[in-house]
Structure 1
Amino acid sequence: MTTNDLILKYLDIWNERDAVAREALMRSVLTEDSFYSDPDNAGLHGHAELSQAIGKAQPSFGDLRFTLDTVISTHHDRALFLWRLGTVATGYDVVEFTGDRISSIIGFFV
């Protein structure tokens, strides 16, 4: 799986409204002990905490979906990319890979 493929699958996690389907995506994309942080969530550990935060945030998204804008740069086991939530929000994420899965996500809102 390419870096772009993995990032796209990660964004699919944020777009998935069904918690069971979201957990299945998480198992294929994120390490079990994955770490997530953004301006609204300071240090979520593992699938359950991230899934709960996503489920809590999704009602505010309406029908908007996350899309990948640009993978800005990659080096070693990290990538920086720009995402969009419809036309109303933009952000940057730095992801760290362990093997063929994401182990850490640090998000920034613009």
Structure 2
Amino acid sequence: MNAHTDLIDRYFDAWNETDGARRRELIAATWSADADYRDPLLAGAGHAGIDAMIRAVHERFPHHTFRRTGQVDGFADRLRFSWELTTPAGDAIVKGSDFGVIDPHGRLQAVTGFLDQVPDGV
């Protein structure tokens, strides 16, 4: 597993963590302190903003899980990856592609997300 894949797998561990204390630990290990996340529906800045954003997703989609689809592609301090949000039954209801920038310490500095498939009402 390369460093980019390990980083993004930790990223999804944070997204899937329902225990607030553990999620904040994962965010701190994965994101720089001044990190920024943006997609068409959500935004979060810094560790507290990213935690609040993830918590809101858990409230809206209880027991759903994010998972990486395919390989993480990257060079230098840039990377991209695709993902899906699955129901408790395992059905993918949202799919997306994200692009990230990594800080000099190997943590995410910024992620910009694009939604590739979204059901009505999301």
Fold match (TM-score > 0.5): yes
> Aligned partners of 2:96 and 2:109: how far apart in 1?
19
The structural deviation recorded for 1:72 is 5.4
Return the structure number with greater relative CO, CA threshold 8 A, min gap 6.
Answer: 1
- Give the letter aligned to residue 78 of structure 2: R
Checking the alignment, whether the CA contact within 8 Å between 2:98 and 2:113 is kept in structure 1 is yes
Identity score, percent: 29
Note the alpha carbon deviations across 1:13-68, whole angstroms, 9 max, x for none. Answer: 110111111110011111011011111124x2101011111111212223221111
Please tell me whether Structure 1 or Structure 2 has the larger radius of gyration of its CA atoms: 2
**Is 1:93 paired with 2:98?**
yes
Unaligned runs of 5+ in 2: 87-91, 117-122
What is the TM-score of this pair, normalised by structure 1? 0.91
State the superposition RMSD in angstroms.
Answer: 1.4
Question: For residue 58 of structure 2, what is the aligned residue in structure 1?
Answer: 58
Instruction: Provide the C-alpha distance between the structure 2 equivalents of 1:104 and 1:18, rounded to a whole number of angstroms.
Output: 24
Q: Quote the offset at 1:88 in angstroms.
A: 0.9
Asked if the contact 2:79–2:99 (Cα under 8 Å) also holds between the matched residues in 1, the reply is: yes
How many Å separate the matches in 1 of 2:21 and 2:106?
22
Match of 1:24 in 2: 25
Counterpart of 2:98, as a letter, is D
Q: Output the TM-score relative to the length of structure 2.
A: 0.82
Whole-Å separation in 2 of the counterparts to 1:32 and 1:62: 27
Give the distance between the partners of 1:17 and 1:29, measured in 2 at CA.
16
Runs of 4+ in 1 over 3 A off after TM superposition: none
Match of 2:80 in 1: 80
Q: Give the number of aligned pairs.
A: 109
1:13/1:22 contact within 8 Å kept: yes
Aligned position for 1:103: 109
